[in-house]
Structure 1
């Protein structure tokens, strides 16, 4: 049984909390521990909730092979082998302790995507507070089960997966004892064209699953991320870079520090706009009802004179009779002299108004 919220390092994540924004470092450290540490410092200063790394090596994620199926066709990395790409992009395991220590110094949550069982062993030894299952690993049932058995919160991306595969992965987490799960809608295109985002899937996932839903965003800006919040997303993951022009492996669909700071602000503001469904008058509307329409005397009227559409009008403010009574007022005689600008009152009429119950629905 999954909880309808999850908790990572004392931060509750769910539909009623501010969006949980994750800065994904990926391989944008360019093979430099100093740059990786600088990225943690910079990301922490943007106000994001967490930083994520990836724990694999080229040898744990693929084979060193030149067959066609190991070659990348099209996109940012066209012409490269999987092994060559991952050899450039991986975060060396010997860096991990330093990265976790730097995150603790900066009071920012750091967790990782493990790509095999040995990665989980390493991350467990470092006290990793949560695990992310990447889109390409959503069909690695053994990996998902091993991550769930740690009893840590699991965040899982759904890119490339069919709905049946998503259900299989979710069931694997449950069957392995996991109780905290979040699913991220994801399009695994690098970068993702905005027209491929299909963000209505976020809303659909919210109806299918009673736990946090989010977005792993590979577009070039923050439009999709902020829109996803309006559709029910509780978690946003976006790639982070110090400089989009530094040649780092994922720079093309990553945000620089200032843009990440804006992303955090915008997603928080969008979430605040959602509030709750309701029709009560809000504090900022206080007094506003008094300036709505009602019936007022628009010309001076003498006793016995008939009310007409020329001497009674629907105007602002709202101290007179409700506008629904205009047709009953017209044609009646005034019971007294009435000055211009007086709010209409039933006491001005010679016949009582016929009141009917207000309609509460339309069919």
Structure 2
């Protein structure tokens, strides 16, 4: 299976359309499948006096609140159109994470996107999840900061949105019924991919817990991927080896640029290296059948051993055998059967024993 690589431009455009265009070009050149931005209106996303996260205070003006920081990073409808067109020119798919219902409708109703990536911060935003379930054919749900129970609750909301009639009344009980129904489970398997994530920027290696991917796959029977916030490229590569179907990774043109996410992002050359390594991992995983690879056949007689005479032996003398290369003679598995038996002919030392 080919891993779907999302190059997360996010808000690393810093509000500049030209910078956003360069990010698209870098993602396409790196070989990513999609470049993803973020679609929001600050007034719908953040309360006017909401504080910043600690990492945001370190990478932006510490005296500025989250609302003012976010507002400078909005992309309007016209800018979205420009970015989508530029993606088409560069041969890479466009995606964006919506953070409010108006932004969701812009992506699905106006631009006709049917795959929606949901931020970890909205995993518990049940009304928003229900809106997404009503308009998205495919949902990629990031699960940072969550427990297994919270993921299950979110899946219940999505299942309800998939199966319930339009006039059905949402409730926790209705979500559970939809989640446990045969139809709900089938639609979740068809339409939802979970992304394991550690929501810290950068994420400490010791807190990544890639085995949680296995836990979610076993618990829910859904496709699972990984959204990475660690520094470097080795952790997402490990996630692919562990079965991730999607890799999402922040990238920037320059980690020294001002802004909340640049420092925890890859630069273009690193993004290209990550994509190349992921493709190598995909190729090396194989089909799981244990058998000699085509290139190995020629090496079997060279590397393996056969039964040979330990010393010169006359016909009818007891054979004294040892195992030596090459491996194109009698198999060493017959050592106990043939050791000490009468030689059928004369053997020189190190001569292969007749099978």
Q: Which position in structure 1 is the counterpart of 2:341?
A: 332
Q: Distance in 2 between matches of 1:244 and 1:306?
A: 75
Tell me the CA shift for residue 245 of structure 1.
1.2
Q: Which position in structure 2 is the counterpart of 1:133?
A: 118
Tell me the CA shift for residue 303 of structure 1.
1.7
Instruction: Summarize the alignment of residues 181-220 of structure 1 with structure 2, pairs less than 5 Å apart.
Output: 181-220=192-231
Per the alignment, in what secondary structure is the counterpart of residue 94 of structure 2?
A: strand
CA deviations on 1:254-281 (whole Å, 9 max, x unpaired) are 1111111111101111121111211122
Per the alignment, in what secondary structure is the counterpart of residue 75 of structure 1?
A: helix
Residue 76 of structure 1 pairs with residue 56 of structure 2: yes
Q: Which position in structure 2 is the counterpart of 1:36?
A: 20
Per the alignment, in what secondary structure is the counterpart of residue 161 of structure 1?
A: coil
Q: Distance in 1 between matches of 2:201 and 2:335?
A: 62
CA deviations on 1:209-256 (whole Å, 9 max, x unpaired) are 433211111112111111101111111111121111122331111111
Q: 1:269 to 1:60 in 2, by over 3 A?
A: same
Select 1:155's aligned residue among 129, 135, 140.
140
Q: Which position in structure 1 is the counterpart of 2:171?
A: none
Q: 1:323 to 1:336 in 2, by over 3 A?
A: same
Please say if residues 27 and 91 of structure 1, whose CA atoms lie closer than 8 Å, have aligned partners that are also in contact: no
Residue 304 of structure 1 pairs with residue 307 of structure 2: no
Structure 2 segments unaligned to the other structure (5+ residues): 163-186
In the superposition, the TM-score normalised over structure 2's length comes to 0.85
CA deviations on 1:284-328 (whole Å, 9 max, x unpaired) are 1123332311201232211232222xxx21011223322122233
Q: Distance in 2 between matches of 1:151 and 1:35?
A: 29
Q: Which position in structure 2 is the counterpart of 1:264?
A: 275
Per the alignment, in what secondary structure is the counterpart of residue 308 of structure 2?
A: strand
Q: Distance in 2 between matches of 1:189 and 1:151?
A: 27
Per the alignment, in what secondary structure is the counterpart of residue 23 of structure 2?
A: helix
Q: Distance in 1 between matches of 2:121 and 2:206?
A: 21
Q: Which position in structure 2 is the counterpart of 1:167?
A: 152
Q: Distance in 1 between matches of 2:192 and 2:346?
A: 72
Per the alignment, in what secondary structure is the counterpart of residue 305 of structure 1?
A: coil
Instruction: Summarize the alignment of residues 1-363 of structure 1 with structure 2, pairs less than 5 Å apart.
Output: 16=1, 18-65=2-49, 70-72=50-52, 74-77=54-57, 79=62, 80-124=64-108, 125-177=110-162, 179-291=190-302, 292-308=304-320, 312-345=321-354
Q: Distance in 1 between matches of 2:333 and 2:91?
A: 60
Q: Point out the structure with the larger helix share.
A: 2
Q: Which position in structure 2 is the counterpart of 1:351?
A: none
Q: Distance in 2 between matches of 1:333 and 1:52?
A: 76
Q: Distance in 2 between matches of 1:46 and 1:139?
A: 34
Q: Which position in structure 1 is the counterpart of 2:178?
A: none
Please say if residues 55 and 260 of structure 2, whose CA atoms lie closer than 8 Å, have aligned partners that are also in contact: no
Q: Distance in 1 between matches of 2:219 and 2:288?
A: 20
Residues matched between the structures, number: 323
Tell me the CA shift for residue 73 of structure 1.
5.3
